[in-house]
Amino acid sequence: MNAEGQSDFIAFLTAPVSYGLAGPVEVIETHISRIFLVGDRAFKTKRAVGLPYVDFSTADLRLAACRREVELNNATAPGIYLRVRRITRQADGGLAFDGDGPLVDAAIEMRRFDQTALFDRMAGPGRLTPALMTKTARMIADFHHHAPIAHTDGGAEMRTALSCCPSSWQSALRCVRTSPPLRHTKAAIPRAF
């Protein structure tokens, strides 16, 4: 399935009436997700893709991925990840949140947060400070230090993910190596540990 196969689902989530609201729905797209911002909520969905590093090719796989994402992210972002919503087909052919009909797709319902709190938006006006980046790096390191070890073939999966678009990774590494603000950060972060 591809985006065309999700067209009725996308139309449902872009319609304010689906949420019982009259205001606009803003859509943010990434290579594997779509986020629908409406009112004080965000609804994150998975694109119907099957890639070497992620398989969201069926509604059941997308539902399972949404459930796992909520489970994992509740530990680091409590209060933001609220629940998984099933998008179902009604008897009249329309779509509904958590109906009795068959599963069409899934969405993670989240509490919407101020977009100016995103690091990329903070970097431009100079609000992304070395102290904040160091604090964040420490939190991430602590999280990974205490995370359970999964004894799977994850390394091979990562090699596959990295090998599928080497020019993109090389470009990103060049950017990190040559960006003046990041050079300072690279020097500061190792000293923080």
Element (H or E) spanning 106, and its range?
A: strand 103-111
Query: Could you tell me which residues are beta bridge partners of residue 89?
Result: 95
State the pLDDT at residue 11: 95
State the pLDDT at residue 120: 87
Q: For residues 76 and 103, state if they share a domain.
A: yes
State the pLDDT at residue 140: 86
Q: What is the pLDDT confidence band of residue 3, given thresholds at 50, 70 and 90?
A: very low
Alpha-carbon distance values, 96 to 8, 12, 21, 87, 177 (Å): 11, 8, 15, 6, 48
Q: For residues 96 and 129, state if they share a domain.
A: no
Evaluated on CA atoms 136, 137, 141, 142, the torsion sign reads: negative
Q: For residues 100 and 178, state if they share a domain.
A: no
Q: For residues 46 and 95, state if they share a domain.
A: yes
Angle (CA) 74-127-80 rounded to 5° is 15
Q: Which of 27, 3, 5 is nearest to 15 (CA)?
A: 27
Q: For residues 14 and 57, state if they share a domain.
A: yes
pLDDT tens string 19-78: 988 789 999 999 899 999 999 999 999 999 998 888 999 999 999 999 999 998 988 888
- Range(s) of the domain holding residue 169: 119-191
Q: For residues 96 and 15, state if they share a domain.
A: yes
Classify strands 26-29 and 33-38 as parallel, antiparallel or unpaired: antiparallel
Q: For residues 99 and 123, state if they share a domain.
A: no
The yes-or-no verdict on residue 99 having pLDDT over 60 is yes
Q: Which DSSP string do the residues of 20-54 spell out, in sequence order?
A: T--S--EEEE-SSEEEEEETTEEEEEE-S-EETTE
Domain count across the chain = 2
Give the end of a domain, one of 77, 95, 113: 113
Q: For residues 7 and 76, state if they share a domain.
A: yes
Q: For residues 15 and 83, state if they share a domain.
A: yes
Q: For residues 14 and 84, state if they share a domain.
A: yes
The yes-or-no verdict on residue 155 having pLDDT over 90 is no
Give the end of a domain, one of 55, 89, 113: 113
Q: For residues 94 and 124, state if they share a domain.
A: no
Give the end of a domain, one of 71, 95, 113: 113
Residue that the structure tokens 């999280």 belong to: 143
pLDDT tens string 107-136: 999 999 888 888 888 888 888 899 999 999
Q: For residues 42 and 98, state if they share a domain.
A: yes
